[in-house]
A and B are shown apart, each in its own frame.
Chain A
Amino acid sequence: MSETLALARIPLDDYAELLGEGEIEELRALAKPLRGRSIEMINSTAIGGGVAEILNRLVPLAEELELNIKWDVMTGGEDFFDVTKAFHNALHGAPYHASPRDFEIFLAYNERNRAILPLDAEFVVIHDPQPAAVIEARKPGSNYWVWRCHIDLSRPNRAVWDFLEKFVSRYNGAMFSAPEFSRQLPIPQYLFYPAIDPLSEKNQELEPEFIAQVLARFRIDPQRPILTQISRFDRLKDPVGVIRAYRIVKRYFDCQLVLAGGSASDDPEGTIVLKEVLREADNDPDVRVIELPAWAPLEVNALQRASTVVIQKSLREGFGLTVSEALWKRKPVVASAVGGIPIQIIHKHTGLLAHSVEGTAYQIRFLLSHPEIAAKLGEHGHQHVKENFLITQKLKRYLTLFLTLARGS
Chain B
Amino acid sequence: MNTAETPFEFVTVSYLTRIGNQSAGTLAELLTGLENCSDASIFHHTYQTLGSHHFLTEGFSNDFAQWVLSDTNRNDLAEQLAALDIRDYVSIAALRRDLCRVVGDFCAAFPHFAGQSALERFYFCESVEVTAPLGRKARTLDEFREGIAHLSHAGFYFHFISSRLRLKLQTNDFSHWLADGLGLTTLADSVNHVDIYTNTLDSSRSKLLRLIDRERRKA
Contact = CB atoms under 8 A, between A and B. Distances in A.
Partners in one complex: yes
Contacts of B133: 29
Given A22-B150, A22-B151, A184-B21, A388 B125 contact: no
Interface string A333-353: 000010000100011111001
Nearest to B149: A22
B152 A384 contact: no
Interface residues of A, number: 42
Contact residues on B (Cβ < 8 Å of other chain), bracket: 35 or more
Contacts of A384: 53, 55
15 contacts: A22-B150, A22-B153, A23-B152, A26-B12, A29-B135, A32-B132, A33-B132, A179-B123, A179-B125, A191-B19, A346-B66, A346-B70, A349-B56, A349-B59, A353-B70
A396 B16 CA distance: 9
Interface stretch (A38-46, A232-240, A363-371, A397-405): A397-405
A353 B69 CA distance: 13
B183 to A, nearest CB: 28
Nearest to B150: A22
A82 interface: no
Contacts of B123: 179-180
Given A349-B56, A387-B53, 7 more contacts: A29-B133, A189-B18, A383-B200, A384-B53, A387-B52, A401-B16, A407-B130
B130 A342 contact: no
A409 B15 CA distance: 13
A222 interface: no
A125 to B, nearest CB: 14
Interface string B1-36: 000000000001011111101010000000000000
B98 interface: no
A182 B21 CA distance: 10
B106 interface: no
A29 B132 contact: yes
B59 to A, nearest CB: 8
Interface of B: 12, 14-19, 21, 23, 52-56, 59-60, 66, 70, 119-121, 123, 125, 128, 130, 132-135, 150-155, 200
B14 A346 contact: no
A29 B158 CA distance: 15
Contacts of A349: 53, 56, 59-60
Instruction: Kindly name the residue among A23, A29, A190, A337 whose own CB sees the greatest number of chain B CB atoms within 10 A.
Output: A29
B158 to A, nearest CB: 10
Nearest to A19: B152
Interface in A171-205: 176, 179-180, 182, 184, 188-191
A380 interface: yes
